[in-house]
Amino acid sequence: MLAIQNVSYAYTKGKSILKNINFNVKQGEYVALLGESGCGKSTLLEIIYGLMDLKEGTIFYGDKKLLGPKFNIIPGHPFMKYLAQDFSLMPFTTAAENVGEFLSNIYKEKKQARVKELLEVVDMSDFANTKVKNLSGGQKQRVAIARVLAKEPKILLLDEPFSHIDNFRKNNLRRRLFTYLKAQKISCIVATHDSTDALSFADTIHIIRNTNIIASGTPKEIYETPNSVYVASFFNEVNEIPYKLLNIQKKGTAVLYPEQLKIVEKSDLKATVLNSYFKGSFYLIEVKFHQQQIIIASHKEHTKGTLLNISL
């Protein structure tokens, strides 16, 4: 449906932000772009939306080549909506008016029903008649999400869509929004730092580093077989332990999440407890293993100085 082919970009000559980016997005697919701050996620969304002219690379929507502002008087495309980090709302009108701004006034009842439906998706029905300037940051963000959905885009580009929303609401909102998008077969590309956005909901994750996509796959593939510490560290704490310290006859270093190390009754591998951190349903135990500090998940707390037997 959407094909991003060999896209490269530099704001200033000789300083590449993105190099040879390639990926496809199918109808109804949710693609997450994950990467550290400044790696070019927003730039890529802006390019896809048509806010920048490309010197290298092409973007196709089906057979149609998408062009930048040089060729489009009004940048952007009718089938695609982009939610930037600044929301772009009208502060002096109500949440409902913002959501309905681009909907036709000819069919008033239809418009009202659509606005109501979308405010329900983002759990903002109670604030329908509140002026946007009187809403909190998170509430504004929810109105902005409803607004980009109003005209039933085929593709949605979301830049850190839940960054202002507290955890209590975030999980609920994510479930509602992504269920809605799947049901409507709306494709979406989300730029995020938040691993939950990606792990729990995305169909495909692309991880960007130093101008390139360095890992792509389903959330399960990327989580279970990360190709580097950078990739793994988006999802969890990570330990890098030389194989020889784990008594494994292999060159190199193992990349292990805390839950991949176990505390057992007996083992040749000994570690001394430095700290226990309560994480709600489990503890993270920081231990000294040889000269290294590593982190192990445990269902119970361990007191400082305890000698633990550990294994893989």
Ligand X SMILES: Nc1ncnc2c1ncn2[C@@H]1O[C@H](COP(=O)(O)OP(=O)(O)OP(=O)(O)O)[C@@H](O)[C@H]1O
Query: What phi and psi, each to the nearest 5 degrees, are found at residue 68?
Result: -85, -170
Q: How far is the CB of 10 from ligand X (least distance, A)?
A: 9
Asked if 100 interacts with ligand X (CB under 6 A), we say no
CB contact set of 252 (below 8 Å; sequence gap of 6+): 242, 243
Work out how close the CB of 91 gets to ligand X at its nearest, in angstroms, rounded to a whole number: 23
Q: How far is the CB of 40 from ligand X (least distance, A)?
A: 4
Closest CA to 237 of 285, 199, 300: 285
**Binding pattern for the stretch 191-230 against ligand X, x by CB under 6 A and - elsewhere:** x---------------------------------------
Contact 270, 307 (CB under 8 A): yes
Q: Which is nearer to ligand X, 210 or 306 (CB)?
A: 210
Cβ-contact 125, 51 below 8 angstroms: no
Residues near ligand X (CB under 6 A), total = 11
Using CB under 6 A as the binding rule, the residues of this chain from 114 to 153 that contact ligand X are none
Contact 166, 160 (CB under 8 A): no
Binding mask 49-68 for ligand X (x = CB under 6 A): --------------------
Residue 271 φ/ψ, nearest 5 degrees: -145, 145
Task: Please identify which residue in 11, 71, 102, 243 interacts with ligand X, judged by CB under 6 A.
Answer: 11
Closer of 51 and 274 to ligand X (Cβ): 51
Cα 132 to Cα 208: distance, rounded to the nearest angstrom: 34
CB nearer to ligand X: pick between 19 and 262: 19
User: Encoding tokens for residue 248?
Assistant: 């494994």
Least separation in angstroms between CB 37 and ligand X: 3
Q: What's the min distance (Å) between Cβ of 38 and ligand X?
A: 4
Question: Collapsing DSSP states into helix, strand and coil, what is residue 91?
Answer: coil
Footprint of ligand X on 19-48 (CB under 6 A):
35, 37-43
Beta partners for residue 192, in sequence order: 34
Q: How many CB atoms lie within 10 A of CB 99?
A: 28
Residues lying near ligand X in the complex (CB under 6 A) are found at 11, 17, 35, 37-43, 191
